[in-house]
Amino acid sequence: MNPDRQIAFGYSTTCNIKCDHCVAHDDATQNVKMDFQTAESIVAKMAGSNVTGISFTAGEPLLFFNDICKLIRICKDNRIYSRVVTNGFWAKNPEHSDHTVSELKLNGLSQLRISYSRWHQENVSQENILNAALSCQRQDLNYFISFITDFSKEDDRFEQFLRKNNLKFFPEPLIYFGRAETFTRPDICSDYQPNTCAMNPYLSPELDMFACCDAGMHFTNTGFFHMGNLETDSIDALFEKKEKNVLYNFIRNMGLTAIASFIGIKASKIVEYRKCELCEKLFNSPENLALLEKSAESLALWTR
Ligand code: SF4
Ligand code: SF4
């Protein structure tokens, strides 16, 4: 039996707002959309490949509300857990918000993930986030708010808004790729941690599959996370590639810190990196990647 499989599904990269920190977009990114019939057929085939969770993401999925509802329905019919990641633009007032949430729920959505940050909220009112969350609470739809932060004092009042309203939220570190690439990095206040990564794969509207749904899509020097394209490879073949790749498994289980130490990066240097930047140092450098591929067997023995 195949292991459980989850994927971030990029139906379209189009977004109605332009957040300064967006990891999915930089100014070179084109807006692309998957053909709807193709999307339908892929979601149905994923069920046969033991995919148990699909997160509709990329740009703003709910710009294509009717299509996404139909795709959620296919997930439900095939017992696939479905999630939509949204910026909440549609929750302008409680009535509109209730209507949208009830349609999503009726079609079988399992969870709504609402994005929130000081960058998102330059374009979408905080009240929208509150409306969306309260609609989920009223209609018993599982939700959470993904609070993207650089952990600076500037974000305290954004966190306070969530606390004041008793909303369910999880802080998530800003990723300094895409539009955030040029941001100033505040100092990191953390210790020497393993830096493991769950590595959810991502399917793009062009049907390219990546082993990472965040910064790893930007590793264009080596293309380390690009696994193939559904035009030429089957869903099973691409998932198997991900599951069998020894270096991906090291990232998941051993963690980037041990891998960095193995190739000779000093401990005092390792703690200066954020997780995705350390990942880039290791896997978006042709020299480091070649070294790691050559030493994979020795690296497997690099355990305590
Ligand atoms: S972060 Fe999300 S909401 Fe903001 S521009 Fe990017 S895709 Fe759109
Ligand atoms: S640590 Fe690597 S695999 Fe994980 S999200 Fe960052 S770039 Fe992707």
Q: What is the pLDDT of residues 223-282, one digit of tens each?
A: 999 999 999 999 999 999 999 999 999 999 999 999 999 999 999 999 999 999 999 999
pLDDT band at 27 (very low <50, low <70, confident <90, very high): low
Q: Which residues fall within 8 angstroms of residue 115, CB to CB, at 6 or more apart?
A: 85, 86, 87, 88, 145, 146, 148
CB under 8 A, 24+ apart: contacts of 215-218: 215/23, 215/175, 215/177, 215/178, 215/276, 215/279, 215/280, 216/276, 216/279, 216/283, 218/177, 218/178, 218/280
Which residues does a 6 A CB cutoff place in the pocket of ligand 2? Answer: 197, 199, 212, 214-216, 251, 275-276, 279
- C-beta 128 within 6 A of ligand 1: no
Pick the more confident residue, 78 or 213. Answer: 78
Residue 280 lies in a domain: yes
Residue-number span of the structural domain to which 73 is assigned: 6-186
Of 160, 186, 212, which marks where a domain is finished?
186
Cα–ligand 2 centroid distance for 216 (angstroms)? 5
Cα gap 150→292, rounded to integer Å:
31
Of the bound ligands, which one is closest to the alpha carbon of residue 212?
2
Residues 86 and 176 in one domain: yes
Of 167, 186, 205, which marks where a domain is finished?
186
Q: What is the pLDDT of residues 86-129, one digit of tens each?
A: 999 999 999 999 999 999 999 999 999 999 999 999 999 999 99
Rg (CA), the chain: 20
Q: What is the phi/psi pair of residue 148, to 5°?
A: -85, 125
Residue 41 lies in a domain: yes
Cα gap 255→275, rounded to integer Å:
10
Per-residue model confidence (pLDDT) at position 3: 61
Q: What is the CATH number of the domain that holds 67?
A: 3.20.20.70
Residue 103 lies in a domain: yes
- C-beta 17 within 6 A of ligand 1: yes
Residues 17 and 146 in one domain: yes
